[in-house]
Every structure is written in structure tokens, then in C-alpha cells.
């Protein structure tokens, strides 16, 4: 057990939890109508609390147990066999469990962006728990728990596939099955608090250092480089998106800038252990531009109300970054170098296969989960509730008291 | 007595307040409202999506006055609130049936 590594991963764990509470929570809260602000905050908070227990019970075991190439088994349920002295690499296993827990929390929390302002709260919790159990935890095992995608040589340092593709694709499917918000697309209300969104985004930028640099699982050179490329990509993403808006509307908006930043961060996530600073710059710019265009396409061309653009920003950003990893990992472009026996072409193939497998897994299972849960739980609230706002109707609270 | 309701641009509130003080009006009520007339709404952009916002923020002022000063008050408001652009607002004069001061019970013009 190494003290420096342990100290850094302790810090990273706190940073990544901070990304959800309150980073992502505030980011999303500012984007919805004022009468739904509490429901979004509550979704994120409740997911954090409930997924924590699920992860402790079986999630960690499915992901990191000693099973086979497909799933980790239940051997580590309730941290059985793991005690204060257990070690994972150079850090305590309890800490590795915790670090991974914060990823297991934020991934279903990302999906909140697909369904706000119209989904029923009990459905949110039930869906998130089942989703973590049968979609997320197995994928973690495949990519990080020694499963078959790891054996194939898939490069996903901090979760481009594990977090962003799973959440992004699932969000898209869920949004399609749930149906759009009332008034979509022509008469949707604008974000009620762009300032709140920026505050949340700022917390995400800082927290992402724990997400990516922490994925080095050590206080070392890899962490330093991961932090560097992460930061450059965030900045580049923000600039790229803002430039797109300047070209199109002659105005750069705050919400656009912070969304571009998130796009850059989502794109660099899988690559943060492989690429160098130039790669970070390219991925950030690419993420900002591509995600901007996909955001428009999903909402305007395909008319899918993935309300807070989870697929366009996280899903597409994650996919783009995962593919570009295969290119910018090469030493010639400043990366760490391709794995033994791989070429850019063969690595691209592995990356693509990983994306496709995980995307199909996520999409199909999300549809199944929704269809099954719909039989027992209210899926979408009625029209009157939707107009009134979920805060009062589902939680008995007002976010703002005006009179 | 008359009750004057004026819809003005929000940034003109202070100018109107000062102008009213200048003609001896020491009290009024102001509220934030939304409205539109010939000044249509505007397009706001969030995250690359355009939102057509039809209602524009305005301020509504309400003040009760003695018949004798109605014209002065209306002129004062109009001159202070005017920017010579569409969206400057409107002033309405209504008949006021009665007025009562809560603290003392005074009625009529003494209550203004």
C-alpha cells in the first residue's frame, strides 16, 4: 500500500462525488423550469443515496469480483472478504471500492438529463437501481474488471464507454420511450437559471480531475498527464462550442460555453490515459464541434426530447473520444504508444467494437427495463402535474417562494 | 379620484418615480409584469436552441390621485418613461370609487 497513491485516490473519490453532488445536480437544475428545480436535485441526490447501497450490496461484486469474462459474480457482495487491510493495487481495496462507487453514482445520474419535468420519481429510483445492476455493473466488469473487452485491448481510461456511452445511449432510448415534454419542440420553456448551470459546470470541470487523473489509481506521471489533457480538452471544448454559436447566432451564450466544456471533457475521458496534450487539444475541439452539431440534430431533425442532451454530449462525446484514442495514442501524435502488436487500424477496430457492443447492450436493456417497470410503476406524470411542476406535485415543496 | 395604471419599461422606473415626486405624488405601487404590444417578443438562445419568448418584462405602476392633478401626473409619467421606441408602454386612467387609509380610517382624498 502506497501512501501517496492512497492520498490522491482518497481526494479523487471526494472530487468525483462532488461532481454529482452538487456539480451535475446544479448543472441540470439550472436547465429546467423553475417549478422542476427541486425534482432534478432530488433525482441526483436520491440516486446517490440508493445506488451507494446497491453498489455495496452487489454492484461492486458484479463489477470487480473474480468471476469470469462476463461478470464478476457475487463473491464480494456486501464487501465480503474485503477488510481494512485488503489491497487493490497500491491502495486499500475499500478505497478502490469507494472510488468506483462514485462512478457508479454519477453514471445513472447523467441519465436524469433525458427525462426531467415529466417522469415519475419512483420510476427514477427503480430504473436507476435496475440499470446499475444489469447494464452498468457488467459493463464495468467487461472493461475494467478484467472482462472480455479488457482482454480485447479496449482503451477506456476513465469511462468513455463505461460511463458516457452507457448513459448516453440509455438516455436516448428512455427519452424516446417517455415522449417529449409538453410543448416540445416549439414551445419549450427556456432554462430558468443559467447561472446555476454554470456553477454546476465549474464544479464538474474541477471534479473531472478526480475522474480522469484519479483513474490512474496512483499519484504518478500518468495522473499528471491525465489532468493536463483533461484540462486542455475542457478549455478547447468550451471555445469550440462558443465559436459555433458565434458563427450561427453572432452571440456566445454561457450555457453553450459550459456545454462545450462538458463535451470536451466527455471526449477526453476515455483517452486521458493514452494521449498527450496535442491530443487533448484536438479531442476538445472535435468534441465541441461534433457535439454541438449532434445536439441540433437530435432535437431539431429527429425531434427526440433528450431534454438535457445526454446522448449528444455524453454519448457522442464518449464515442468520439473512444475512437480518437486509437489515433492519438500513437507516439507520433504525442501519446503513450499503441499496445504491443496493435496498429492504429486494429486499435480503431477494437474501439469501435467496444462501442457497438456496449451501445447495443445499454440500449436494448434500457428498453426492456422500461417496459417491465412500466407494468408496475407510473412512468410519466399526467398533463396537469407536468404543467404544475414536479416539485410541488411529487415532492410537496416549492423551489422558490415568490409571494 | 382617479386610479392611474401605467405599463413602462423596467429601466424607467426610477425616472418615473422622481417625476411623480416632482408633481407631489409621494406613494405608488410597482409590480413586475410581462406583456407585449407592438413590440413583439424576442428570440433567446440557450445551448444552440432558439426559444421564442413572446412576453417582454415590463413594470406596472399604480397610483391613486386627486382629479385635479390627473393630467399633470399622466404627463409626468409619459415624459419620464418615453424613450421614443416601440415598447415604451401605455397609461390608463380609471375612475376610483373610494380610497381608505388603513392606519387611520381616513377616506376620500385624505386617504391619498
- Supply the DSSP string of A267-310, one letter for each residue: HHTTTTTT--HHHHHHHHHHHHHHHHHHHHIIIIIS----TT-I
- Residue pair A178/A160 in contact (Cβ under 8 Å)? The answer is no
Please name the member of A187, A251, A299 whose beta carbon is closest to the beta carbon of B49: A299
Helices first, then strands: H and E counts in chain A: 17, 2
Compare B48 and A328 and report the one with higher pLDDT: A328
pLDDT > 80? residue B51: no
Give me the mean pLDDT over the A356-372 stretch: 98
Rounded Cα gap, residues A286 and A284, in angstroms: 5
User: Worst-scoring range by mean pLDDT, A27-36, A394-403, B50-59?
Assistant: B50-59
Question: First vs last Cα of chain B: how many Å apart?
Answer: 9
Contact partners, residue A339, CB within 8 Å, separation at least 6: A153, A155, A347
Give the closest-approach CA distance of A186 to chain B in angstroms. Answer: 8
Give the closest-approach CA distance of A8 to chain B in angstroms. Answer: 35
Q: What is the mean pLDDT of chain A?
A: 96
Give the closest-approach CA distance of B8 to chain A in angstroms. Answer: 22
| pLDDT score for B48 | 61
Number of structural domains found in chain A: 1
Please name the member of B47, B51, B52 whose beta carbon is closest to the beta carbon of A256: B47
Rounded Cα gap, residues A298 and A313, in angstroms: 11
pLDDT > 70? residue A212: yes
If one counts every other C-beta atom within 10 angstroms of the C-beta of residue A242, the result is 22
DSSP-derived letter for residue A342 is: -
- Grid coordinates belonging to B58: 415590463
Closest CA to A292 of A306, A312, A262: A312
- B46:A194 CB<8 A: yes
Contact partners, residue A141, CB within 8 Å, separation at least 6: A62, A63, A64, A65, A67, A70, A71, A72, A147
Rounded Cα gap, residues A355 and A295, in angstroms: 20
Give the closest-approach CA distance of B46 to chain A in angstroms. Answer: 6
- Residue pair A17/A203 in contact (Cβ under 8 Å)? The answer is no
| pLDDT score for B44 | 78
What pLDDT digit, counting tens, does each position of B94-107 carry? 999 999 999 999 99
Interface mutation target, options A190, A245, A290, chain B, most CBs of B under 10 Å = A190
Residue A292 lies in a domain: yes
Q: From start to end of A189-230, where are the E strands?
A: none
- B51:A248 CB<8 A: no
Residue A37 lies in a domain: yes
Compute φ and ψ for A310, nearest 5 degrees. Answer: -65, -45
- A295:B51 CB<8 A: no
- B48:A190 CB<8 A: no
Give me the mean pLDDT over the A162-191 stretch: 93
- A194:B45 CB<8 A: no
Q: What is the CATH number of the domain that holds B26?
A: 3.30.70.120
- Residue pair A33/A389 in contact (Cβ under 8 Å)? The answer is yes
For residue A256, what is the nearest residue in chain B, using CA coordinates? Answer: B47
- B46:A251 CB<8 A: no
- A309:B45 CB<8 A: no
Compare A380 and B37 and report the one with higher pLDDT: A380
- Residue pair A171/A109 in contact (Cβ under 8 Å)? The answer is no
Inter-residue long-range contacts of B51-57, CB under 8 Å, 24+ positions, other chains counted: B51/A188, B51/A189, B51/A190, B52/A186, B52/A187, B53/A190, B56/B87, B57/B10, B57/B32, B57/B33
Rounded Cα gap, residues A40 and A24, in angstroms: 10
Helices A194-212, A221-249: crossing angle, 10 deg rounding: 150
The domain in which residue B81 lies consists of 2-111
Q: What is the pTM of this model?
A: 0.91
Rounded Cα gap, residues A33 and A191, in angstroms: 6
Q: What is the 3-class SS of A73-142, one letter each residue?
A: CCCCHHHCCCCCCCEECCEEHHHHHHHHHHHHHHHHHHHHHHCCCCECHHHHHHHHHHHHHHHHHHHHHH
pLDDT > 80? residue A54: yes
pLDDT > 80? residue B45: no
- Residue pair A239/A286 in contact (Cβ under 8 Å)? The answer is no
- Residue pair A44/A112 in contact (Cβ under 8 Å)? The answer is yes
In DSSP terms, which residues pair with B35 in a beta bridge? B56
Please name the member of B47, B52, B53 whose beta carbon is closest to the beta carbon of A255: B47
Give me the mean pLDDT over the A25-50 stretch: 98
Confidence class for position B41, pLDDT limits 50, 70, 90: confident
| pLDDT score for B71 | 96
Contact partners, residue A135, CB within 8 Å, separation at least 6: A166, A170, A361, A362, A365, A366, A369
Confidence class for position A119, pLDDT limits 50, 70, 90: very high
Output the furthest CA–CA distance in chain B (Å, rounded). 58
Helix (H, G, I), strand (E, B) or coil at A182: coil
The domain in which residue A206 lies consists of 3-390
Residue A398 lies in a domain: no
Helix (H, G, I), strand (E, B) or coil at A62: helix
Residue A400 lies in a domain: no
Please give the share of chain A, as a percent, with pLDDT higher than 90.
96
Residue A403 lies in a domain: no
DSSP-derived letter for residue B39 is: S
Contact partners, residue A301, CB within 8 Å, separation at least 6: none
For residue B52, the chain A residues in CB contact (below 8 A) are 186-187
H or E element, residue A322: helix A316-328
Q: What is the CATH number of the domain that holds A265?
A: 1.10.3430.10
| pLDDT score for B26 | 86
Confidence class for position A403, pLDDT limits 50, 70, 90: low
What pLDDT digit, counting tens, does each position of A214-249 carry? 999 999 999 999 999 999 999 999 999 999 999 998
Omega prior to A185 cis, within 30 of 0: yes
pLDDT > 90? residue B47: no
If one counts every other C-beta atom within 10 angstroms of the C-beta of residue B107, the result is 11
If one counts every other C-beta atom within 10 angstroms of the C-beta of residue A129, the result is 18
Rounded Cα gap, residues A246 and A259, in angstroms: 15
Give me the mean pLDDT over the A87-97 stretch: 98
Number of structural domains found in chain B: 1
pLDDT > 80? residue B50: no
If one counts every other C-beta atom within 10 angstroms of the C-beta of residue A345, the result is 9
- A292:B48 CB<8 A: yes
Confidence class for position B52, pLDDT limits 50, 70, 90: confident
Those residues of chain B whose CB sits closer than 8 Å to some CB in chain A are 44-49, 51-53
Amino acid at each position: 500500500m502506497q501512501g501517496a497513491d492512497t492520498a490522491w485516490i482518497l481526494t479523487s473519490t471526494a472530487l468525483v462525488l462532488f461532481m454529482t453532488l452538487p456539480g451535475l445536480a446544479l448543472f441540470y437544475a439550472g436547465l429546467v423550469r423553475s417549478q422542476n428545480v427541486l425534482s432534478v436535485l432530488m433525482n441526483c441526490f436520491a440516486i446517490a443515496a440508493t445506488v451507494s447501497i446497491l453498489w455495496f450490496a452487489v454492484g461492486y461484486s458484479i463489477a470487480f469480483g473474480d468471476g469470469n469474462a462476463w461478470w464478476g459474480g457475487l463473491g464480494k457482495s456486501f464487501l465480503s472478504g474485503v477488510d481494512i487491510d485488503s489491497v487493490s493495487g497500491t491502495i486499500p481495496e475499500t478505497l478502490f471500492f469507494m472510488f468506483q462507487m462514485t462512478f457508479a453514482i454519477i453514471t445513472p445520474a447523467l441519465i436524469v438529463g433525458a427525462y426531467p419535468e415529466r417522469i415519475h420519481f419512483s420510476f427514477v429510483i427503480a430504473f436507476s437501481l435496475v440499470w446499475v445492476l444489469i447494464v452498468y455493473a457488467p459493463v464495468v466488469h467487461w472493461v475494467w474488471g478484467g472482462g472480455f473487452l479488457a482482454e480485447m485491448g479496449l482503451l477506456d481510461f476513465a469511462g468513455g464507454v463505461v460511463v458516457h456511452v452507457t448513459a448516453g445511449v440509455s438516455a436516448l432510448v428512455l427519452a424516446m420511450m417517455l415522449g417529449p415534454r409538453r410543448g416540445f419542440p416549439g414551445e419549450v420553456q427556456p432554462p430558468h437559471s443559467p447561472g446555476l448551470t454554470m456553477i454546476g459546470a465549474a464544479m464538474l470541470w474541477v471534479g473531472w480531475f478526480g475522474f480522469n487523473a484519479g483513474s490512474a489509481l496512483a499519484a504518478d506521471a500518468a495522473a499528471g498527464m491525465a489532468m493536463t489533457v483533461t484540462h486542455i480538452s475542457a478549455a478547447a471544448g468550451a471555445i469550440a462550442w462558443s465559436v459555433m454559436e458565434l458563427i450561427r447566432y453572432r452571440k456566445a451564450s454561457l450555457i453553450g460555453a459550459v456545454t462545450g466544456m462538458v463535451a470536451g471533457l466527455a471526449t477526453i475521458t476515455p483517452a486521458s490515459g493514452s494521449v498527450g496534450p496535442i491530443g487533448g487539444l484536438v479531442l476538445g475541439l472535435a468534441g465541441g464541434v461534433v457535439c454541438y452539431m449532434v445536439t441540433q440534430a437530435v432535437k431539431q431533425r429527429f425531434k427526440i426530447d433528450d431534454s438535457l442532451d445526454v446522448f449528444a454530449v455524453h454519448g457522442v462525446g464518449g464515442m468520439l473520444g473512444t475512437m480518437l484514442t486509437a489515433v492519438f495514442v500513437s507516439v507520433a501524435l504525442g501519446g503513450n504508444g499503441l499496445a504491443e502488436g496493435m496498429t492504429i487500424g486494429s486499435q480503431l477496430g477494437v474501439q469501435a467494437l467496444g462501442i457497438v457492443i456496449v451501445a447495443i447492450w445499454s440500449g436494448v436493456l434500457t428498453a426492456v427495463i422500461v417496459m417491465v417497470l412500466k407494468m408496475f410503476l407510473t412512468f410519466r406524470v399526467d398533463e396537469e402535474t407536468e404543467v404544475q411542476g414536479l416539485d410541488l406535485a411529487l415532492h410537496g415543496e416549492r423551489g422558490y417562494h415568490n409571494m | 379620484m382617479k386610479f392611474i395604471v401605467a405599463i413602462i419599461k423596467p429601466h424607467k422606473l426610477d425616472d418615473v418615480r422622481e417625476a411623480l415626486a416632482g408633481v407631489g405624488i409621494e406613494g405608488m405601487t410597482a409590480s413586475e409584469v410581462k406583456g407585449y404590444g407592438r413590440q413583439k417578443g424576442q428570440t433567446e438562445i440557450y445551448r444552440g436552441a432558439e426559444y421564442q419568448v413572446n412576453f417582454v418584462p415590463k413594470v406596472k405602476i399604480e397610483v391613486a390621485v386627486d382629479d385635479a392633478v390627473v393630467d399633470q401626473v399622466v404627463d409626468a409619467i409619459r415624459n419620464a418613461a418615453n424613450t421614443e421606441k416601440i415598447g415604451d408602454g401605455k397609461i390608463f386612467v380609471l375612475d376610483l370609487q373610494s380610497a381608505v387609509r388603513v392606519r387611520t380610517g381616513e377616506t376620500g382624498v385624505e386617504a391619498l
